[in-house]
Amino acid sequence: MSLDVTEIARISDGGSSKPQIQARVDLFKTWDIPSGSKILEIGCGQGDCTLAMAYLVGEQGHITGIDPAPLDYGAPMTLGQAQDKLKQSEIGNRITFHQADLEGFLNSSVSESLYDYAVFARSTWYLPSAEALTPMLVALRGRTKHLRIAEYATDIQGDIAALPHLLAAISQAEFNSRDDNLDRQDNIQSIITPQKIRELAHKAGWVLEKEDVIRSPEDQEDAKWEVGRVLSEKYRVRSRSSGGASRQEYADALISAVEESKRALGPSPKLRTLPTWLGSWA
């Protein structure tokens, strides 16, 4: 597996760090998706997972990555630049990107009529709410043989070094659940729990085949990024830009809790990224 990671890192040409690639490879291998699969990836973002999957499905496989985000979104590289770079890599011919939402894409002429797999690779927390997932799960019925969803789990499984990430997620979800908040730039918009995903998929007619929970690679950087975001002065200022006094005070307490949970781990602590829950349906 480390050979995979080194190879993918070489192909990505500095686009992703090894721990981030490892985290994507871990998802794919847990799902046991065979070579040659045709995959629709929903919420592909800059394509980190797309590239890992493109490598792992081999020459006969193909990944179609869709994301509704504007192509000029993101820094230092924009979404469009990152996607173009992957397209130009030596396995770029196994990848197609579309700027589209799922329903629009499925109704368009560029969509296949049937995919082997539809994959959400840690993209559901970007959705504004769990309710936004419902029509997507319904639309995918009959358009893919298999459904795979990976998302962070709020159960830190006894690993106290993951507590700051959990509390940072709770803080960001609080901020982004405010009705009067129009400043939706966070990576975590909603916390959609495995329980909720199970429930929505069941309602949409999907049959759950398997669930797994995997730990994140020790060096995966998401915990550090999300905790850093919440503890920044900019975030505190944004937090005071919406919500009433009670809500802002509640938000302050969450930020303090993130701070304390980090401090409790000692100076320059190694933060652990939340574990990932993986669901498989057909």
Q: Which residues bind a second copy (CB under 8 A)?
A: 128-131, 153-158, 160, 163, 166, 170, 173-174, 177-179, 190-193, 195-196, 244-247, 249-250, 252-254, 256-257, 259-261, 263-264
Cα gap 197→119, rounded to integer Å: 13
Q: Scanning the structure block, which residue is given the tokens 């509390």?
A: 167
* Minimum separation from the CB atom of position 246 to a second copy (A): 4
Question: Residue 87's CB: how many other CB atoms inside 10 A?
Answer: 15
The nearest distance, CB 176 to a second copy, in angstroms, is 8
Shortest distance (Å) from residue 209 CB to a second copy: 21
Pairing of strands 144-152, 115-121: parallel
Of all helices (H) and strands (E), which one includes residue 97? strand 95-99
Euclidean distance between CA atoms 33 and 184, whole angstroms: 33
User: Residue 1, class by beta-carbon neighbours within 10 Å (0-12 exposed, 13-18 middle, 19+ buried)?
Assistant: exposed
Of 191, 179, 69, 198, whose CA–CA distance to 125 is shortest? 191
Q: Which is nearer to a second copy, 64 or 172 (CB)?
A: 172
- 87 vs 247, beta carbon nearer a second copy: 247
CB of 238 to a second copy, least distance (A): 17
Q: Are 98 and 131 in contact (CB under 8 A)?
A: no
Would you say 88 or 246 has its CB closer to a second copy? Answer: 246
Nearer to a second copy among residue 97 and residue 125 (C-beta): 125
Residue closer to a second copy, measured from CB, 64 or 190: 190
Cβ 130 to a second copy, closest distance in Å? 6
Q: Are 120 and 149 in contact (CB under 8 A)?
A: yes
